[in-house]
Structure 1
């Protein structure tokens, strides 16, 4: 997720059914935080037309200076071939529900949230009988900072993109995925990995969410307040993601509570084994634990 976008609230306008044709390559972005802003800048650099909406209108005005063509209003939504939802998970779902009848036939809508089950279950249902397609997505890129001011055009350069396609036959899926890759070309993703929402959330609980929990908890040691002069790369690496958008990560953690709790439980069990070996001054057991971790890390890197 990285996702650090501002929490948005969608339009309350009741749209009418749309039968218009989109402008090829035009992009609509909901939320101009770190993720949405980086998408906007990447597309603008690639020569695409970009329209965006953000809860704080001043951010839209700032983006209009050199990044976007204008605001993503209800009358602009039907003209977009690609719509990217970069808000909080609940905001993504609400916006799509509100605007479902405005989206142009054959357009593609994606999200960027760090969890997929709670997003995809609802958004696939919204799009099920529509002439456009929703695809769950998670760009594996980001920083510990948030907001449009930290967005950059090269955020996604060589980064992996996880894609959760909707239920459809193989030929339709292939066509949608090829179109999506072409539409996202200006972002320069390094790879596209297909996954189910369940597998994504299980893996992300370990690779991303657990890392944020550990980093955030690690800096609660009183020793952290006196680290200057005593810390180097290890401290910097382990504390980088301790800085986070607490409301956003709270929602992401609770949406994936089952898998994240299981990962925390596994970590606690492993830490207690190290603690016991250290408390008992058991050098043989401690060495075995350390060698095991080293071996498993090397095995994971070879996969």
Structure 2
């Protein structure tokens, strides 16, 4: 499938970075957002086309520009993805491919098929890259460089749609990996959602114990690295945690078990047990970059 025009809906840090990356790769980018200021900024920088439009516009004539798009990326919070696809559906051309960048996949993949126009394929997507910051102002073209980019096609998804998206992912410097929505949500709960839960809880634990108000002034690199993502926007994470509730709760239970094991070792002043726990983590952590092949295979 030949791709010349890509539409990006939601020009935040993920959508804005995708728009910049596709523009740098030589594609035309149609921007769609709910904020006129963001659209104006992206257009003035030449990142998106002049006929980019506000999705909340009452004048639907501007929506006809979407007919040019070969691929449409929905870069909104998880629970907004299906409503956005439904809003845009009358203007999506037959043969186009719709994808998303949401952090959970089962709910999206199972629900979006109810609102997709006939002849339009959907491939779930999740770039494993980002920042604690939000907004177009923090977007950059190299955000996805060398990062995993998960694609979660349904059983009925045409192979051509998947291959087209894989090619686009490679074009922006990311590494595509194919898995089922179920596999994705289990994986994401472990390596994305649980770390957010832990970082947020750690900051709140320090906040509770910091009676002097001086702790953060003295915090070193370890604390800052561990808690960086605790600054992420709450609204996005509400959607993620509630649409992946079962997998996140499972990982919290596993984490509590591991934390309890370490707590008991400390309580028992057992140096051998503490050493064993740390070395077990170190051994697994040191092999983390060998789990995925650079050719996109899982």
Q: What is the alpha-carbon root mean square deviation over aligned residues?
A: 2.1
Residue equivalent to 2:5: 26
Alpha carbons of structure 1 residues 101 and 23: separation in structure 2 relative to 1, 3 Å: farther
Alpha carbons of structure 1 residues 192 and 24: separation in structure 2 relative to 1, 3 Å: closer
For the residues of structure 2 that align with 1:184 and 1:284, how far apart are their CA atoms? 46
Name the stretch that deviates more: 87-96 or 177-186: 177-186
State the Cα deviation string for residues 139-174 of structure 1 (Å, max 9, x = none).
1111111100000011111211100112237xx41x
Name the stretch that deviates more: 240-249 or 93-102: 93-102
Residue equivalent to 2:59: none
Residue equivalent to 2:253: 265
For the residues of structure 2 that align with 1:286 and 1:159, how far apart are their CA atoms? 33
Name the count of aligned residue pairs.
276
SS in 2 for 1:277: helix
Alpha-carbon deviation of 1:229?
A: 4.1
Partner residue of 1:176 out of 161, 171, 176: 161
TM-score scaled by length of structure 2: 0.86
Residue equivalent to 2:34: 55
Partner residue of 1:199 out of 183, 193, 200: 183
SS in 2 for 1:228: helix
For the residues of structure 2 that align with 1:301 and 1:79, how far apart are their CA atoms? 39
Alpha-carbon deviation of 1:283?
A: 2.5
For the residues of structure 1 that align with 2:189 and 2:95, how far apart are their CA atoms? 33
Pair 1:68-2:57 in alignment: no
Q: Is the contact between residue 25 and residue 183 of structure 1 (CA under 8 Å) also seen in structure 2?
A: no
Q: Is the contact between residue 169 and residue 176 of structure 2 (CA under 8 Å) also seen in structure 1?
A: no
Residue equivalent to 1:239: 227
Pair 1:99-2:79 in alignment: no
Alpha carbons of structure 1 residues 24 and 204: separation in structure 2 relative to 1, 3 Å: closer
Q: Is the contact between residue 29 and residue 51 of structure 1 (CA under 8 Å) also seen in structure 2?
A: yes
For the residues of structure 2 that align with 1:266 and 1:276, how far apart are their CA atoms? 16
Q: Is the contact between residue 170 and residue 176 of structure 2 (CA under 8 Å) also seen in structure 1?
A: no
For the residues of structure 1 that align with 2:245 and 2:219, how far apart are their CA atoms? 35
For the residues of structure 2 that align with 1:51 and 1:23, how far apart are their CA atoms? 17
SS in 2 for 1:261: helix
Pair 1:114-2:103 in alignment: yes
Residue equivalent to 2:56: none
Alpha-carbon deviation of 1:193?
A: 0.7
Residue equivalent to 2:270: 282
Residue equivalent to 1:83: 72
For the residues of structure 2 that align with 1:126 and 1:196, how far apart are their CA atoms? 21
Q: Is the contact between residue 22 and residue 172 of structure 2 (CA under 8 Å) also seen in structure 1?
A: yes
| Unmatched runs of 5 consecutive residues or more in structure 2 | 54-61, 292-298
SS in 1 for 2:124: strand
TM-score scaled by length of structure 1: 0.84
Residue equivalent to 1:148: 136
